[in-house]
Structure 1
Amino acid sequence: MDGSEPGEAVAAAVLSGAPTELQARTVRIYRPAKTATQSGTWHGHHWRMDWDVLEKGHRWENPLMGWQSSADFMQGTHLNFNTKQDAIDFANKQGYEYFVQEPNERKIVPKAYANNFLHSPNRLKHIRTK
């Protein structure tokens, strides 16, 4: 993108003077899953935007500790939005290419303790424990 593309607005990344490899970033828009220790749905209503890792890598190994280092300052950054459309509008305004990852919805099957005692016309199942 260099600002000459047809459209209603110029991307903010073009006007900022950022390097070209940082202007054309791909972002992922998704709704994060709840952690395994949560049973409620409290923080699961917001949408998050993450930046993909750069193609060139910009990674090296620290010789002293052996840790992986990176020159990509957007690698561990994420933004939260109230709605999916807010995140898409922000990505369009910044000139980012994006893809939306729809969340997997939980299917809750209603259960009742009384169903254990329903009559069925089949033979009884005998369970021998010893």
Structure 2
Amino acid sequence: MWTQLQSGILAAATISGAPSDLQSRTVRIYKASKPATQSSNWPGTRWKMDWDVLTHRGNWENPLMGWISSADHMQGTHLWFKTKEDAIYFAEKQGYEYYVQEPNVRAFRPKQYAANFTHSPGKLKIIRTK
């Protein structure tokens, strides 16, 4: 308790009365990637936080539809933040263990159709189609 007060962050779980299984959750903080259905250069400016799936919670198959059901109420929940620091501060404030998954940077090389016809010194390239 004293170390939490020294760092300036008092975990909200100590006074909130939240269930103990919710207090010991691990969260993942990451930037969401562009959906495959979008063709734009989506910047992905917001950071997302979601909870890891609990292994000890019971999952079962729904006999009517065949869908997988779960007793984990936080599995489908996520939060959005403007910056990574805001997400980390929230996780520390709530007393969650967290890990940050840094985004992969996409290497974008601009291409031009006219580059196929520019002169390049050296041996002539012969492309056989048949």
Shorter-chain TM-score: which interval? Answer: 0.7 to 0.9
- 1:10 Cα deviation (Å)? 2.4
1:125 is matched by which residue type in structure 2? I
Match of 1:100 in 2: 100
Match of 1:6 in 2: 3
2:4 is matched by which residue type in structure 1? G
Match of 1:16 in 2: 16
Kindly report the root-mean-square deviation, in angstroms, between the aligned alpha carbons of the 2 structures: 1.9
* Secondary structure at the counterpart of residue 90 of structure 2: helix
Match of 2:27 in 1: 27
Matched, 1:77 2:77: yes
* Secondary structure at the counterpart of residue 30 of structure 1: strand
2:112 is matched by which residue type in structure 1? A
- 1:42 Cα deviation (Å)? 4.6
Match of 1:37 in 2: 37
* Percent identical residues: 58
Q: Which TM-score applies when normalising by structure 2?
A: 0.84
- 1:91 Cα deviation (Å)? 0.3
Instruction: Point out the more displaced range, 10-19 or 57-66.
Output: 57-66
For residues 62-109 of structure 1, give each alpha carbon's deviation from its aligned partner in whole angstroms, at most 9, with x where no partner exists: 333332211111100000000000000000000000000011111111
Number of matched pairs: 126
**C-alpha distance in 1, partners of 2:65/2:38?**
35
2:120 is matched by which residue type in structure 1? H
**C-alpha distance in 2, partners of 1:103/1:57?**
29
Match of 1:89 in 2: 89
Match of 1:119 in 2: 120
Q: Which TM-score applies when normalising by structure 1?
A: 0.84
**C-alpha distance in 2, partners of 1:100/1:85?**
10
- 1:127 Cα deviation (Å)? 1.6
**C-alpha distance in 2, partners of 1:31/1:66?**
32
